[in-house]
């Protein structure tokens, strides 16, 4: 009989004693650009031109180049990116937008915020992204766009969605908030749909604490997106000292969703490190894959050969709960969190029952005759429910620790499996805090 050690949750020694790499990452280069902004006399795009191009404009150009598209418009956060993408495409009251039923709540709430109805669509087990067949089944006369998320560390079946959108003549919006730098058939994600959206919030692979961006190669959409994020203004073609670098157009109703110069400077600097950081995470994943192949303690998601590069915002692991005394993934995640000193989480609760998705209580749709169409309870998401009962995720920064980090995770899995009877004393109820 193997003696099991006490879980860290119950006072045993934690597996991981060393600190994890600090996230977000920064270095002297980051410090320099922040100082440059600090003493520049210009902290916002809407500040006067003082002889140097704004970081906002510079980041927009750098990120468009990185994504291999023509244009980028930075935004204050990912929610604003989704909002102006929907508005630029003319989506509003009476329109339905297909959104995945297992993702961050901002996707559905952004659709609601422009007056359109989010249709929660079930996912594919292999990617946890929206399932093409479920999208077809959810189609109606009112379907006006698909908001496709590349979730966790996977890429949705882009080919199937491009085909569906072309066939039906509706735009595809790619939400790449979890996939900075991922590639499909050799091209960066975000460049396949009409508009690609990104969040640069603290936990994302490229971050300025808060931040976001949209990308597109459509000139007309670009002009609208610029106005939508700067109160109807666009970059002036010619910069003049002491004057604003924006001209007033107002052909669409904008609002202020501009990124500050500090955030744009951070992003300009950190973008130059994105590929190497993504590579470090790949080393972690390769090492863990080899260890899991031997032990069978958990499974990494399957690889699609069309995905030419995966990136790891949240590493997904499918656990066989039978090996863990049939404890819930919530209990397993709680135990691993204590062993590893980093938050291991189950995947999102399906949006149909996510406590942060509460459209019926929102004044935005108060009194509308179609109020009932916003009821999340009208959708069925069996594959999302199944994934919620089987998968856990590890956030991106432990992955920067490479092989040593993978070892810690594998040792923790082994320890928790061996001590799994103790899991039955752990809170089994669903948590919904996830990155």
Ligand X SMILES: *Cc1c(COP(=O)(O)O)cnc(C)c1O
The footprint of ligand X on residues 57-86 (CB under 6 A) is: 77-79
- CB of 178 within 8 A of CB of 154? no
Could you say which residues in the range 99-158 bind ligand X, by CB under 6 A? Answer: 103-104, 106-107, 149
CA distance 187 to 190: 9
Q: Using the minimum distance from each CB to ligand X, give the nearer residue, 149 or 332.
A: 149
CB of 167 to ligand X, least distance (A): 25
**Minimum Å distance from CB 178 to ligand X?**
5
Told to check if 285 binds ligand X by CB under 6 A, we report no
Among residues 200 and 412, whose Cβ is nearest to ligand X?
A: 200
For the chain, the C-alpha Rg in angstroms (whole number) is 22
Q: How far is the CB of 149 from ligand X (least distance, A)?
A: 5
Cβ-based neighbours of 62, under 8 Å, separated by 6 or more: 268, 271
| Of 159, 76, 171, the residue nearest 116 (C-alpha) | 171
Least CB distance to ligand X at residue 78 (A): 2
Contacting residues for 284 by C-beta, under 8 A, at least 6 apart = 312, 315, 398, 399, 400, 401, 402, 403, 405, 406
Identity of the residue, 54 or 201, whose beta carbon is nearer to ligand X in the bound complex: 201
Q: Does 199 bind ligand X (CB under 6 A)?
A: yes
Looking at beta carbons only, is 270 or 410 nearer to ligand X? 270
Nearer to ligand X, 178 or 216 (CB): 178
201 is a contact residue toward ligand X (CB under 6 A): yes
Residue list 167-196, contact with ligand X (CB under 6 A): 175, 177-178
**Cβ proximity to ligand X, 214 vs 246, nearer residue:** 214
Q: Does 359 bind ligand X (CB under 6 A)?
A: no
SS3 category, 128? coil
Burial profile 84-107: b = 16 or more Cβ within 10 angstroms, e = fewer: bbbbbbebeeebbbbbbbbbbbbb
Measured CA to CA, the distance from residue 326 to residue 192 in angstroms comes to 41
Q: Closest separation between CB of residue 5 and ligand X, Å?
A: 36
Within 212-362, residue ranges assigned H as helices are: 219-229, 261-295, 329-340
Residues in contact with ligand X, shown as a per-residue x/- string from 404 to 433 under the rule CB under 6 A: ------------------------------
CB of 28 to ligand X, least distance (A): 27
Say whether residue 402 binds ligand X (CB under 6 A): no
Residue 22's contacts (CB-CB under 8 Å, 6 or more residues apart) are: 397
- The whole-angstrom separation of Cα 350 and Cα 347 is 9
Q: Which residues bind ligand X (CB under 6 A)?
A: 77-79, 103-104, 106-107, 149, 175, 177-178, 199, 201, 212
């Amino acid at each position: 009989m193997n003696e099991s050690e006490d879980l860290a949750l119950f006072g045993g020694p934690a597996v991981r004693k060393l600190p994890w790499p600090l996230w977000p990452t920064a270095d002297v280069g980051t410090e320099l650009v922040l100082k440059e902004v600090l003493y520049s006399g210009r902290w916002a795009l809407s500040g006067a031109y003082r002889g140097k191009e704004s970081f906002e404009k510079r980041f927009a150009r750098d990120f468009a180049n990185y994504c291999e598209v023509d244009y980028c418009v930075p935004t204050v956060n990912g929610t604003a990116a989704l909002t102006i993408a929907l508005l630029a495409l003319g989506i509003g009251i009476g329109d339905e937008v297909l959104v995945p039923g297992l993702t961050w709540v901002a996707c559905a709430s952004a659709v609601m915020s422009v007056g359109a109805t989010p249709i929660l669509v079930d996912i594919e087990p292999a990617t946890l992204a929206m399932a093409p067949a479920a999208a077809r089944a959810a189609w109606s006369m009112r379907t006006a766009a698909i908001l496709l998320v590349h979730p966790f560390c996977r890429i949705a079946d882009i080919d199937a969605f491009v085909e569906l959108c072309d066939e039906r003549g509706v735009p595809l919006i790619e939400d790449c908030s979890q996939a900075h730098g991922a590639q499909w058939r050799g091209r960066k994600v975000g460049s396949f749909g009409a508009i690609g959206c990104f969040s640069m919030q603290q936990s994302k692979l490229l971050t300025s604490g808060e931040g976001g961006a949209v990308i597109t190669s459509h000139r007309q959409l670009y002009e609208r997106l610029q106005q939508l994020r700067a109160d109807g203004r666009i970059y002036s073609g010619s910069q003049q000292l002491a004057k604003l670098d924006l001209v007033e157009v107002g052909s669409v109703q904008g609002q202020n969703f501009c990124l500050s110069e500090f955030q744009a400077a951070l992003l300009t600097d950190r973008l130059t490190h994105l590929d190497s950081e993504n590579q470090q995470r790949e080393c972690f994943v390769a090492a863990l894959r080899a260890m899991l192949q031997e032990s069978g303690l958990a499974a990494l998601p399957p690889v699609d050969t069309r995905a030419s590069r995966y990136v790891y915002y949240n590493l997904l692991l499918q656990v066989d709960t039978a090996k863990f005394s049939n404890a819930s993934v919530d209990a397993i995640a709680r135990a691993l969190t204590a062993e590893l000193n980093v938050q291991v989480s189950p995947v999102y609760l399906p949006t149909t029952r996510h406590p942060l998705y509460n459209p019926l209580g929102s004044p935005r749709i108060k009194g509308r005759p179609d109020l009932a169409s916003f009821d999340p309870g009208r959708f069925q998401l069996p594959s999302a429910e199944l994934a919620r009962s089987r998968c856990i995720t590890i956030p991106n920064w432990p992955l920067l620790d490479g092989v040593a980090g993978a070892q810690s995770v594998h040792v923790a899995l082994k320890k928790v499996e061996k001590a799994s009877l103790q899991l039955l004393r752990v809170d089994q109820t669903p948590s919904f805090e996830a990155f």
